[in-house]
Amino acid sequence: QKEVEQNSGPLSVPEGAIASLNCTYSDRGSQSFFWYRQYSGKSPELIMSIYSNGDKEDGRFTAQLNKASQYVSLLIRDSQPSDSATYLCAVNPFNAGGTSYGKLTFGQGTILTVHP
């Protein structure tokens, strides 16, 4: 079983719509969660971090975390063609003793296409 799972997509949405990207993780001890955006031929760029259950908003981006369901999502409001990229979900797993492994586990990424 993959530790971090994302729908590979591609997810296609019209300009101005809300894009919803989803991620599930297997390690119940995970404490912090991240979304990275990666344009084709570029490196991953951190766009959101979330540590607590609930929603965190930053401009057009909202990250949602539900630790009980082991689920984290990213909503992009008013999607623009410039949002077209691969979005990577990353999780910071902790061991049974509550100590971080110190590294991130990445999902395979969801390709988002926003068409005019």
Partner 1 sequence: DAGVIQSPRHEVTEMGQEVTLRCKPISGHDYLFWYRQTMMRGLELLIYFNNNVPIDDSGMPEDRFSAKMPNASFSTLKIQPSEPRDSAVYFCASRTRGAYEQYFGPGTRLTVT
Q: Of the candidates 1, 68, 103, 116, which one interacts with partner 1 according to CB under 8 A?
A: 103
What letters, b where the CB count within 10 A reaches 16 and e where it falls short, cover 16-31?
eeebebbbbbebeebe
Nearest residue to 26 (alpha-carbon basis) of 54, 52, 2: 2
49 belongs to the binding site for partner 1 (CB under 8 A): yes
Identified binder of partner 1 from the candidate list 21, 63, 85, 88, rule CB under 8 A: 88
Q: How far is the CB of 54 from partner 1 (least distance, A)?
A: 19
Who contacts 16 (Cβ-Cβ below 8 Å, separation ≥6)?
Answer: 78, 79
User: If binding is defined by CB under 8 A, does position 32 make contact with partner 1?
Assistant: yes
Q: Which stretch binds partner 1 (CB under 8 A): 16-24, 56-64, 65-73, 103-111?
A: 103-111
- Tell which one of 25, 64, 72, 107 touches partner 1 (CB under 8 A): 107
Spatial CA neighbour of 25 closest among 45, 42, 3, 43: 3
Q: How many residues bind partner 1 (CB under 8 A)?
A: 22
Site membership for partner 1, residue 24 (CB under 8 A): no
Distances (CA, A) of 93 to 2, 71, 116: 13, 14, 38
87 interacts with partner 1 by CB under 8 A = no
CA–CA separation, 88 and 110 (whole Å) = 7
- Judged by the rule CB under 8 A, the positions of this chain that interact with partner 1 are 32, 34, 36, 42-46, 49, 88, 90, 92, 100-109
